[in-house]
Amino acid sequence: MKGLSHYDARGRAAMVDVSAKASTKRHAVAHAFVKMKPSVLKQLSSNPKGDPLEVARFAGITAAKRTSDLIPMCHPLMLSHVDVACRIEARGVRITASVATTGPTGVEMEALTAASVAALTVYDMTKALDKGIEITDLHLLEKVGGKSGTYKRK
């Protein structure tokens, strides 16, 4: 399929061969938002399971490192850095995941996986208070490196 890299000549899903690509420094940042009621936000610090934002941060870091186990066509990458930040806001928790590597392929999927798993972890840690919590706005904010260059969400 023209324009999509994860298909072979017969149109079957395939892992991209990156063996001829140069290793370059690559970086990606992804975002997710966990929308919740103010009453749930107020109870975050007293969660009997532990600090939901710290658990979510660890879960996001672990998820970035395990992306190739979850997404079939992703390459296992040696990540040089992963950071997940969770910030409480008036309407919920804003999550930003930043991932870096030096390699032949980008880390967009690792950043998106980190943000989504961190958001799911916030939900898991707070669902007893409200099953109506929403995970929204999962998207790539930026990516740097590789032949396609820099992308910044507008």
Contact assessment for residue 118 and residue 97, using Cβ atoms and an 8 Å cutoff: yes
Contact assessment for residue 30 and residue 111, using Cβ atoms and an 8 Å cutoff: yes
Which stretches within 20-107 are classed as H helix?
Answer: 38-42, 52-65, 67-70
The residues that are catalytic are: 124
Contact assessment for residue 77 and residue 110, using Cβ atoms and an 8 Å cutoff: yes
Identify the pLDDT of residue 121: 98
Identify the pLDDT of residue 120: 98
Mean pLDDT of successive 10-residue segments in the chain (154 residues)? Answer: 65 80 93 97 89 97 98 94 97 98 94 98 96 98 92 95
pTM of this structure: 0.91
Structure tokens at 82: 């992963």
Identify the pLDDT of residue 69: 97
Identify the pLDDT of residue 3: 64
Give the span between the Cα atoms of 57 and 35, in whole angstroms: 17
- Angle, to 10 degrees, between the axis of helix 52-65 and the axis of helix 108-126? 150
How many helices (H) and strands (E) would you count in the chain? 4, 5
Identify the pLDDT of residue 4: 63
List domains and CATH numbers for the chain: 28-152 (3.30.70.640)
Point out which residues pair with 31 in neighbouring strands: 96, 139
H-helix or E-strand spanning residue 109: helix 108-126
Contact assessment for residue 84 and residue 118, using Cβ atoms and an 8 Å cutoff: yes
Contact assessment for residue 20 and residue 126, using Cβ atoms and an 8 Å cutoff: no
Identify the pLDDT of residue 1: 40
Burial of 63 (0-12, 13-18, 19+ CB in 10 A): buried
